[in-house]
Chain A
Amino acid sequence: MAGKSLTAGKSLGPVRRAFAPWNDPAAKPFIQFQNVTKTFGDFTAVDDLSLNIYEREFFALLGPSGCGKTTLMRMIAGFEEPTSGHVMLDGQDLVGVPPYRRPTNMMFQSYALFPHMNVWDNIAFGLKQDGMAKADIATRVDEMLALVKLEKFARRKPHQLSGGQKQRVALARSLAKKPKVLLLDEPLGALDKKLREETQFELIDLQVRLGMTFVIVTHDQEEAMTVADRIALMDQGKIVQIATPGEIYEQPNSRYVADFIGDINILEGKVTSTEGGVATLDCIGTGAKVQVTQDGGAKLGDEAWFAIRPEKVSISLTPPEDPSVNAVSGEVWDIGYLGDVSIYHIRLATGATVKSTITNTTRLVSRPITWEDKVWLTWSRDGGVVLTR
């Protein structure tokens, strides 16, 4: 199915850009977790967690395996009941409501297509449970088949479909009942990389066009960043940070978040000044002072960490002319050539290694900067962040 998009026509950019109900104090949350705790024996999967998800939001639950993200989603679907706390959907308390009476539908990681039914019957299954009229079911199923471009495959059994086609059937089946919330449990995990990336954009288009609330569980940070309006990064049953992909990447609130999302250099230091919105760190890692703009998170005398993404560190063979810019010298230790970018590992005099990525804007004939070169690393005050935990 490569190259075919589920949607055509105008870009949905303006719709996506304007959407930010979480900044609006008057907005009513659509899904609410209120002090939810879930324990399995002595293992705490979800720990006193509160969370608001808004209508029409594409919300991602991200985290390593065992962090509680799947349990959280299964509590919305009704497969798990919270040990304590409340899960609300559209003002209604979901606790005690069995999964077959909830206005949510889920797309399973394994797709869970019924192997003894063909594509048509799989999609019609949920509609039949509602006692919908036969003619209406037929119309709706055909509509869903058209939506996922599988009209020709209606009579196929699941084992006669490729992975990508199965994924589309699963999507169509979970959308057929027009659920208030669509839950996606690692929906693209079984697809190869190329198909996965295409499908991510198709999911976004579909979500905006249908105006539905999507909650996705994933351990793939790129997937979460691509599709989601907001991401909740979880660790050990708690949410570490909820933010838009941009914020979570550029303004991580802790070393855990900074380290989980993307690649980053983290260097330990001590705050020696916080004047004028600029924190100055005595950085043990770089062996020099580092200045970072900040909004007051780090206090004077705090132990803190300076974190900067490799693409925000520039390399040059000469020292910077502007003495106020952050700079440190080192030696090229290793180079990783990835095609689009090269990753340089620079060993500093302190023994610390700082990574810097350089975009390969021309075909690689010879490297201007190569192994064992003495280089200067520079970055602006806005390039990195100071983290206190």
Chain B
Amino acid sequence: MRRGPSWFNITAITLGFAFLYLPIVLLVIYSFNASKLVTVWGGFSTKWYVSLLSNQGLLDAAWVTIRVALLSATLATVLGTLAAIALVRFGRFPGGTLFSGMVYAPLVMPEVITGLAMLLLFVAIGFARGFWTLTLAHITFSMCFVAVVVQSRLITFDRSLEEAALDLGCPPFKTFFTITLPLILPAVVAGWMLAFTLSLDDLVISSFTTGPGATTLPMKIYSQVRLGVTPEINAICSILIGIVATGVIIASIVTKRREVERQRAERLALQIG
């Protein structure tokens, strides 16, 4: 039998990756363009990254975005984890199906509708729109993602671990923090990162729920692009890509290393046992 990839496979992979990454690669390349014209290559330069630092509008927007993302991701993680525990642990309770359906609804709800609904609510209760309404809206839509991630971990969680802790004299509340939480922590962290990323790049819901003085980076970029794409935008996008890529790479290295460690330990145990 012939080994190695066929020409067909190589072509398919090349086309697939090009489709996914060519726009991003172009964006990164043009962020180093010396020319002010986005589509004309004028030599290598890092001046757009430098000028970024003096663009107060963009820096302000970045600061708002990070604060909203950190706060909303953290609160969404707490709420989402609690919701996941309620869904998995309380078994069947009246209205349980409805409750789980309601938690997941924002997953499939069009963002425009969520955004509009939030806007109407804030207007109705007379909540001044700005940083806090933005944060609340982000918690609302990212919470269900956390719930889904944590729930899938909890379903495979061995309940006898908690029973063992109770049996050994540990009260339920303490059991949650000493046994359950440390063991589901990877899922909770994954949920947090998901919520953080979602908050970081949300445009639609943010546009509906924000107010004066709370413009996020995606909103700022979007409004600037409408006036014409500048190489500065390319630069800030490249930075964002860099941050996200670094995060993903670190996460996968850690996971991989832990897996290798675990396999080594299991081999060791077998040799001795």
Contact partner of B165 (CB less than 8 A), chosen from A104, A125, A130, A156, is A125
A19 to B270, CA, bound (A): 40
Distance to closest chain B CB from A42 (angstroms): 15
Distance to closest chain A CB from B106 (angstroms): 32
Determine whether the beta carbon of A129 is less than 8 Å from that of B269. no
Q: A106-B164, A110-B158, A130-B169 are in contact. List 6 more A-B contacts (CB 8 A).
A: A100-B168, A101-B169, A108-B164, A114-B161, A129-B169, A173-B164
Contact partner of B266 (CB less than 8 A), chosen from A114, A126, A159, is A159
- Number of residues on chain A facing chain B (CB within 8 A): 36
- Interface positions of A (Cβ within 8 A of B): 1, 77-79, 98-102, 104-106, 108-110, 112-116, 125-126, 129-130, 156-157, 159-165, 173-174, 177
Determine whether the beta carbon of A114 is less than 8 Å from that of B269. no
Determine whether the beta carbon of A116 is less than 8 Å from that of B168. no
Determine whether the beta carbon of A100 is less than 8 Å from that of B265. no
Determine whether the beta carbon of B168 is less than 8 Å from that of A105. yes
Interface centre among A115, A129, A163 (most CB of B within 10 A): A129
Determine whether the beta carbon of B268 is less than 8 Å from that of A160. yes
Determine whether the beta carbon of B273 is less than 8 Å from that of A77. no
A164 to B171, CA, bound (A): 29
Q: A112-B164, A130-B169 known; A161 and B182 CB under 8 Å? A: no
Distance to closest chain B CB from A258 (angstroms): 34
Closest to B269 in A: A160
Closest to A77 in B: B167
Q: A100-B171, A125-B170 known; A115 and B183 CB under 8 Å? A: yes
Distance to closest chain B CB from A133 (angstroms): 16
Contact partner of B269 (CB less than 8 A), chosen from A77, A79, A99, A161, is A161
Distance to closest chain A CB from B90 (angstroms): 16
Q: Does B166 count as interface, using CB distance less than 8 angstroms? A: yes
Determine whether the beta carbon of A129 is less than 8 Å from that of B168. yes
Contact partner of B265 (CB less than 8 A), chosen from A105, A126, A157, is A157
A56 to B161, CA, bound (A): 28
Residues of A within 8 A of B158 (CB): 110, 112
Determine whether the beta carbon of A99 is less than 8 Å from that of B266. no
Distance to closest chain A CB from B66 (angstroms): 31
